[in-house]
Structure formats: C-alpha cells, structure tokens
Amino acid sequence: MDKIKNKILKLKNQINQANHQYYILDNPIISDTQYDLLLRELQEYEKTYPKYLTSDSPTQRVGSTPLKKFSTTTHRIPLLSLDNAMNTGEIRDFYARIKKGLPEESFELIAEPKIDGLAVELVYENGIFVSGSTRGDGITGENITQNLRTIRSIPLKLRDDKIQIPSLLEVRGEVYINKKDFEKLNDRQLDAGKQIFANPRNAAAGSLRQLNSKITAKRPLKIFCYSLGTCTGVTFSTHLDFLKALPKWGFPVNPLIETCRTPEQMENYHNKLEAIRDDLDYDIDGVVYKVNSISQQKFLGLKSRTPRWAIAGKFKAQQEITQILEIEASIGRTGAVTPVAHLKPVSIGGVTVSNATLHNQDEIDRKDIHIGDWVIIQRAGDVIPQVVKAIPERRTGNEIAYKIPNRCPICNSQVIRDEKEAKHRCQNINCPAQIKGSIQHFASKNCMDIDGLGQKLVYQLVDEGLINNVADLYYLHKDTLLKLDRMGEKSAQNLIDSLNISKKTSLSRLISALGIPNIGRHLGKVLENHFESLDKLMEASFEQLNEIDGVGQIVAQSIKNFFSDEKNRLTVIKLLEAGITFKTSEISNDDKFLNGKTFVFTGTLTSITRNEAKEMVEKYGARTASSVSKKTNYVVIGENAGSKAEKARKLELNIMSEKEFIHMINSRKIYSLKV
Ligand SMILES: [Zn+2]
C-alpha cells in the first residue's frame, strides 16, 4: 500500500513541479502530452484508490459541481483599501507624512505596479489550499474556493523550497487576464454571438464569479500575489522579505517591484511604469507604495479604514465621457461591416480620440447605443478605442437608434448578415472598399512592406481605375503614375523602387499579405514551415490543412475557399509572374535552438514524412537516432508506436506527440529538461 501512496505522491510532485516551471518560472520543462500523461496516470490511481484522493491534487483543477450561490467568508484580517494619490504633489505629501510620523530618520518604500484585476485572499492550512474568497467589502467576501482552485498559477500545496510552511497562511493577490488572452476571449465571445467583456478586469471578475467552476477552468486566469494576511509560524521583518518568500512557496510575484528611498525615486518609478504601461502583458492602473519595515508599518498604524503606511499612485484615466456625433458603417477588406462611432474629440490619457469601434449590431443593441448619446469611451494601448456604455440619463430625446444599413455605403450592393456569425458583410467582392482595404493590407509593414504606398495613394490608384487588385501594383508604369494628381518624378520613382524591393520577400509575408480571412503573420509562418512553396499550399486539401498544428477547421476552410476562387488564383499567378521570389529564411547559429539534441521518431507520422521530420531537426542543429537510449533527448510518438515508446516511458525521457513536435519547431520553444 505504501508503494501506491508513494507513487501517487511522486506523480503529484512531478505535476506540481511542471506547473511551477511553467507558470512561475516561465520555463516549461515537459510537453503538454507528457503533462497529460502524468495527469491521466494520477487520475487512474485516484480512481482505483479513492482514499488517496486529496483536495490539493492537481486533478482537482478542472472545476466541480456548479453552485446555486456563493457562501460568504469573513476575512480574519480585513482587506483594507488604500488612499489614492492623484498627482506628484500627493505622493510627496505621503512621503512627508511618513517621515514626520516615524521616530527614525531612515525608511524605505517598496513600489509595486497596481494590477487592474480582482483582489482575492487565499488560505492555506499546513501548506494545503483550503479556501479562497473575493475581497468583497473588505470585511466579508464571497467564497470562490472552487474557482480559485482552477487557476494553475495558484499552488494547491505550498512548496517547501528552503522555507518553512506556516500552520496558517493567508496570501492576498490580484487575479487578472493577460491582454492577449483577453482579446482572444472576446473574439471567441463575438464569434459565438455572446456579449463581449469591456476590459480584462471585467473578464477576470466575470470568470471568477462563475457559479460553474468548469467555465472558470476554461478561462485564462492568472494571479500576482502581493500582501499578507494571517501568518502563523513564520515572521517577516520587512515587506520585501515576505515578497521574496512568496515564490519559494510557489506564488507568482510581479517582477517590476523596486525599492524607493526618496520622493524623486517614487516619481521616477511612477513615470517609468506609466510609460511602459501599454507595453505590459497585463493592465495596471497605478503604483502602490508600502513602507518596507513591518515594525514601522505597525508604528504608523491605520486611519479609519486605510493604512497610513501605504498609498496608491493612480495613473491618468483610460476612460472618458464624450458624445457620439455619427455612426458610420465601415467596410473592411473582407467586406465585413464594422459600425464606427464618430465622437466629439476627447483627450484620454494624453491621446485625442475621435473614433471608437462598436464591433457589430448585437453589441450596439446590447449596449442600447444611439446616435447623439453621451458614452463612456475606453482606450488601452494600441487597441482601437471602444464604447463601454451609454449614459441614458443624459438623453434629451433627440437621439436616434442605429441599424446597419442593408446597402453598402460604398458600392450600394446588398449587405447581409450571415446566420452563423454576428457580422454583416457587403456581398460584392469587387467592392472598392474591399479592394482598397486589401491593397492597404498587402502593402502594410507586416506584409509586403511597400514603402511609400499609404492609404491616400491606394485610394487614388483605385479611384482612378489604375489598379483593381494587389497584383496590378507590380504592373504600374512610372509614366502612368506621373499622370496622378500631385505625383512628382521623384515619388513616382521611389514607389517603383519600393515595389521592386518588395518583390524579394518570404513566403510567410506573401501568405499573410494575401488577406486570406483568419490568416495573420503567425499562421503565415506556420504555413511557410509546412509547405515551403505557394503551389503546395494552393493545392493542399482541407484534410491536409486541418492536420497542421495551429490550423483549425475554420482556418483550413478559409484557405480552401480563398484558393478555390478563380479570381484569387489568377491574382496569385500574376504576382508570381511579376517576379516575386522567396528568400528561404536563413538559419543562424543562434536559431539552432535544438543544438546537440538527439531525437527518436517512432510510430507513423501523419502530417509529415520521416524524412521531413529529420530535415526539420537537422535544420535546427539536432540529430536523429534510430533507437532509444538514456542519451536520447526527445522521443516523438506517431500512430501505433510500439516498444520504443514503452522504453522511453521507462527511461522517463521527454515524450511528445507529432503535433507538439511541429509546434516546438514552429514556435522555436524548447522543453528544456525532464522533471
Ligand atoms: Zn460594398
């Protein structure tokens, strides 16, 4: 029996270690297949020996029975709110108050980014996660234990990495969603005709407050931990010591934390973070300063509901109120209609905003937005500003409801809403708006990068009837260009030159430049790696496309549709005839990310041949062997794999599926070591 117990313990440790490497250290050590194999093995054991199933088991992260409502939890120590400093003057005042309030001359402040998410408290008894709750009103919160358990960066069992485990530990942190994950989540919501989230914080809050934790488990929630509640058995003399202890127990801590000793340093930190705010993966809405010494914190104590030893320096608002003057149906390069709100210009965080997207008709209806409405506008980073909500209290009665027109405002063709999606589309593939959009896309920096071919010139060329598709660009003559309004000798020559330069490109750039729906730069690369010629891609069957890692049914279908269109095929042929050539992407030594590694392939590969697989690993500096040994680094398992797979498992080697192998090659991301 002890043997079983030990085996289960070993599996749990392996899985927890893999999680820790992935989420805390950002250094994955095993493939997803291997992770799933371990998890499945553990599930099997727990099913056979249910008495060994514990609440801290990694198998418990998938969510459990939906709740009717959340119970409430009273926090042992209230989660206080912080005073806000709205400007540098108020930050200096805070510093002066601390200096005056402390008997000692010297003190330090720890500066941390203020994550824009949902504050939660996690409770551990003897190292095991037992419950978790929202901040609520600071005194009581909602018990969301089931949901928090699904977040893979929250340890279910504390690590004892050179640190003692407290008998009771309460850790506070902020649950958030990455900006990229948020966009993907909203895309999925839009595709499914569901309501989109206004911002990552709303998405995180909505996901955490799901009564069905199985839904929460599917949401890409993450956490940063930053503060301590009760802690029995371990004491800290500074806040920084506590922050350093957190990762040892297995909690993620934000990497941008700094120590400040003067008001100037505080301001510098504030300015630095505000400047990089848009570039971070997650939303922050300010900076928090805390007195570092715990004894000094205690000495300073509390005001009525806020600590005297901490303050939040707020950033400039990302939301403002303004009025919608007009709503315009904008036609994209795929014919999709996006309603755009033209606004009374307003400055948001230092940037003047005069347009905002309204996504689609469903969103307009849901938010009940009228022309003339006063609305809240939100801007964040490079994302197109969006309308968060209308303010119906400010209506005068002159507002007009908006419906997407049933005729294209550009070409007057029919606009139809596809039953399966939330989007309306102009049905005319020769619609000038679509042609202009597709040419602009083709010329853009991430695609063919044609210098000097901006929106104005594209419009001019299309409106004058000089070009009708992207291939026509390469057949333009200088003399023709010179006839255009305000086109001089020099700019005409420059355009001809940049068109010629753009002919030397890579296959991935051309693929993404074609504007096939759902294909961007990343998929362009995936397809380039897979096909290595445009002909092969054009002739690929739906099945062949669908099998490629990263290419789902939707993408496969849209590639298929694109190349079955005679017009598109002609355009591609014309492009190639114009002299477009592909550089094979050269592999530098730095790119040989598999240097010195040994691969063994076993079983039948389905999307590539053995030879292609061999070429792939050799291209990146690795070699293949025919038999599995201790020296083998990776074993790729195809269909009907036999004894070699078995042996690899016994030797505890890195095992991956064909899909994962291709993903590893495409992403150049290595699974460095085994557990
Ligand atoms: Zn049209």
pLDDT of 133: 96
Cα 329 from Cα 423, distance rounded (Å)? 12
CA of 406 to the centre of ligand 1 (A): 11
Burial status of residue 636 (CB atoms within 10 A of its CB: 0-12, 13-18, 19 or more): buried
CA of 409 to the centre of ligand 1 (A): 7
Question: Which run of H or of E encompasses 649?
Answer: helix 643-650
Question: Residue 342 forms beta bridges with which residues?
Answer: 326, 355
CA of 387 to the centre of ligand 1 (A): 25
Burial status of residue 490 (CB atoms within 10 A of its CB: 0-12, 13-18, 19 or more): exposed
CA of 412 to the centre of ligand 1 (A): 6
Give the pairing type, strands 400-401 and 351-357: unpaired
Distance from chain centroid for Cα 100:
45
CA distances from 81 to 78, 108, 115, 254, 282 (A): 9, 21, 14, 20, 21
Contact 142, 174 (CB under 8 A): no
**Could you say which DSSP state residue 228 is in?**
E
CA distances from 439 to 28, 274, 358, 494, 515 (A): 41, 36, 24, 18, 9
Per the annotation, the verdict on 483 as an active-site residue is no
Cα 474 from Cα 348, distance rounded (Å)? 41
Cα 514 from Cα 194, distance rounded (Å)? 30
Contact 251, 173 (CB under 8 A): yes
pLDDT of 402: 96
**DSSP, residue by residue, 541-569:** -HHHHHHSTT--HHHHHHHHHHHHSHHHH
pLDDT of 615: 82
Cα 109 from Cα 238, distance rounded (Å)? 10
pLDDT of 341: 96
Name the phi and psi angles at 28, rounded to 5. Answer: -60, 140
Distance from chain centroid for Cα 475:
40
pLDDT of 381: 61
Distance from chain centroid for Cα 543:
28
Query: Of the candidates 457, 628, 607, which has an alpha carbon nearest to the alpha carbon of residue 540?
Result: 607
pLDDT of 586: 53
CA of 444 to the centre of ligand 1 (A): 22
Cα 474 from Cα 572, distance rounded (Å)? 12
pLDDT of 382: 59
CA of 342 to the centre of ligand 1 (A): 20
CA of 426 to the centre of ligand 1 (A): 5
Query: Of the candidates 287, 296, 143, 171, which has an alpha carbon nearest to the alpha carbon of residue 230?
Result: 171
Query: Of the candidates 474, 426, 435, which has an alpha carbon nearest to the alpha carbon of residue 576?
Result: 474
CA of 454 to the centre of ligand 1 (A): 21
CA of 314 to the centre of ligand 1 (A): 45
Label each residue of 594-612 as H, E or C. Answer: CCCCEEEEECECCCCCHHH
For the question of whether the overall pTM of this predicted structure is more than 0.75, the answer is no
Query: Of the candidates 356, 571, 314, 591, which has an alpha carbon nearest to the alpha carbon of residue 442?
Result: 571
- Helix, strand, coil share (%) of the chain residues, nearest 5: 40, 25, 35
Domains of the chain: 2-53 (1.10.287.610), 83-314 (3.30.470.30), 319-404 (2.40.50.140), 432-502 (1.10.150.20), 507-582 (1.10.150.20), 589-667 (3.40.50.10190)
Question: Residue 628 forms beta bridges with which residues?
Answer: none
CA of 434 to the centre of ligand 1 (A): 7
Beta-carbon contacts of residue 319 (< 8 Å; ≥ 6 apart): 348, 376, 377, 378, 379, 388
Query: Of the candidates 8, 5, 22, which has an alpha carbon nearest to the alpha carbon of residue 155?
Result: 22
Beta-carbon contacts of residue 472 (< 8 Å; ≥ 6 apart): 466, 574
Which mean pLDDT values do the consecutive 10-residue runs of the chain (675 residues) have?
88 89 80 84 91 89 87 92 90 95 93 95 96 93 95 93 93 95 84 80 92 93 96 94 95 95 95 90 94 96 89 88 96 91 89 91 93 90 81 94 94 86 86 93 92 92 93 94 90 93 91 88 84 86 87 87 89 90 68 85 84 84 88 88 83 84 74 46
Structure tokens at 206: 């909505």
Tokens 């990343």 -> residue: 522
**Could you say which DSSP state residue 79 is in?**
-
**DSSP, residue by residue, 368-427:** T-EET-EEEEE--TTSPPEEEEE-GGG--S--EE----SB-TTT--BEEE-TTSS-EEE-
390-393 long-range contacts, CB within 8 A, separation 24+: 391/321, 392/368
CA distances from 634 to 255, 596, 618, 648, 651 (A): 32, 12, 14, 9, 11
pLDDT of 64: 82
CA of 411 to the centre of ligand 1 (A): 4
Amino acid at residue number 484: L
pLDDT of 673: 42
**Could you tell me the end-to-end alpha-carbon distance of the chain, in angstroms, rounded to an integer?**
25
CA of 468 to the centre of ligand 1 (A): 14
CA of 669 to the centre of ligand 1 (A): 43
Helices (H) and strands (E) in the chain, counts: 24, 26
pLDDT of 671: 61
pLDDT of 269: 96
**DSSP, residue by residue, 505-535:** E-HHHHHHHTT-TT--HHHHHHHHHHHSSHH
pLDDT of 1: 64
Cα 252 from Cα 23, distance rounded (Å)? 8
pLDDT digit string, tens, across residues 119-160 = 999 999 999 999 999 999 899 999 999 999 999 999 999 998
Amino acid at residue number 77: I
CA of 438 to the centre of ligand 1 (A): 13
Q: Residues 7, 100, 114, 436: which is the catalytic one?
A: 114
